[in-house]
Amino acid sequence: MSLSEEQRMMRESCRAFVDDVVTPFIRGDWKREWDMNPGSRLPDSILEGADKIGIRTLAVPEEFGGVELDKESEVQTFALIAEEIARGDSGLADKLVQNWKVSVLLRTFAPRHLQEKWFKRLVEDPQFLLAHCLTEPRGASDRWLPYNVPEAAMQTRAVKDGNEWVINGRKQFISNGYDAGLYVVYANTNPKVGMLQGTSSFLVPRDTPGLTVARCNETMGCRFMNNGELVFEDMRVPEDHLLVEGEALAQAGVYFRPGKIIQAAKNLGVGVACFERTAEYVQNYVQGGRILIKHQAVALRIGDMATRIAAVRALLEQASRAVDDKAADADVLCNMAKVYASEEIMKVAQHALELHGGNGVMLDFGIEKLFRDAAIFLHMDATVDISKMKIVKWLFPETAGKYAGPE
């Protein structure tokens, strides 16, 4: 990938931040991710450090104090930075990229006065986080096959009452859901039509009466991003907090396409960390009278790790360019990059775990954490199988099955 001067400088700043701040914290206080008080896991200094190098408010318009990227390569830059941060910690990367993606939604759909209010809050407070609330207990990736009938619609409902919307429902598995200050919430506003025609999106501040943050979901990996579950009980929001009515899912491609790219990039960052740590280990650890890399079985695995990483990077670069160029095949390439990265980096992480031998499964050694983080990506931003079904439906729209509901 040919980088601009701005991209090179941002990558170098991120790499230094990871090497000097993030990695020493992760390795020096490895028990911290298991703190059952979610608010205590990540010290404030980490997000403050991200703020200092300008990566916390990517995609916020410059007029509001954010870091506005070149629109012709914005998604490629998102991928570049997400990879570098995830090389240090994938949970931290996920914490930050929600801000980027939701900022794209806000600058695209939010009324001017709400942009002024919330971008100001985001820029001024290094701990302020954004969240995107789509997944529900009774439906997630499967809704995107699509099975576009009323009975497959969102369970969360929004009803107009005068100059307000009243929202009832529940969301789960929400990235940043536990501690975000502002949410974009999707709800069914027309139960007589399909999901793609009857879903609307709303801007919901955390302190809105009727909104309850029910719990923090204790995940096996990416634990420095606090995944949450939300409940809405007769929650009222002003009518101007409606972002998109009826076609919110169709319009949300500005969030979903970069999201798939960033997901693959974060996964790639975990793979790079696996490779770097393992390459150092096998060139210094002695087993059977020689350093590990001199054993043929070890050398084969190292070569396999490097090849998988290179292949993921190549597809990711192709897909991110397609999104920036608004290419016709951008959607299918996004899904390919996401699903391919999740499967290949899982294999890279397995090699890393096994090449470290007994040390690989020790909590204080740090390799098992990378393995856990890699495993999470198989289920983030759509499951592997659903993603493959979407790829087939794009490739063969006339003959692919519906995969949901009656044929």
Number of residues in the chain: 407
pLDDT score for 186? 96
Q: At what angle do helices 367-376 and 253-282 cross, to 10 degrees?
A: 160
Helices within 110-193 (DSSP H only): 112-124
Kindly list the domain boundaries of the chain, sorted by start residue. 5-128, 131-246, 251-395
Contacts of 263 (CB under 8 A, 6+ apart): 338, 341, 342, 377, 380, 381
pLDDT score for 205? 98
CA distances from 15 to 12, 55, 168, 269, 293 (A): 5, 12, 43, 11, 26
Instruction: For 232, list phi and psi in degrees, rounded to 5.
Output: -115, 120
| Assigned superfamily of 131-246 | Butyryl-CoA Dehydrogenase, subunit A, domain 2 (2.40.110.10)
Task: Render 11-57 in DSSP notation, one character per residue.
Answer: HHHHHHHIIIIIHHHHHHTGGGGG-SSGGGSS-HHHHHHHHHTT-SS
| Positions of the chain with pLDDT lower than 50, given as ranges | none
| Assigned superfamily of 5-128 | Acyl-CoA dehydrogenase/oxidase, N-terminal domain (1.10.540.10)
- The topology (CATH level 3) of 251-395 is Butyryl-CoA Dehydrogenase, subunit A; domain 3 (1.20.140)
> Do 5-128 and 131-246 show the same overall fold?
no
pLDDT score for 281? 98
| 224: helix, strand or coil | coil
Q: Residue 280 and residue 220: Cα distance in Å, rounded?
A: 26
23: closest CA among 280, 273, 376, 282?
Answer: 273
Instruction: For 288, list phi and psi in degrees, rounded to 5.
Output: 65, 30
Sign of CA dihedral 45, 46, 50, 53: positive
Contact 203, 114 (CB under 8 A): yes
Q: For tokens 């009452």, what's the residue?
A: 161
| 136: helix, strand or coil | strand
Contacts of 70 (CB under 8 A, 6+ apart): 4, 6, 77
Task: Render 352-376 in DSSP notation, one character per residue.
Answer: HHHHTGGGGG-GGGSHHHHHHHHHH
CA distances from 262 to 92, 119, 230, 337 (A): 13, 21, 24, 10
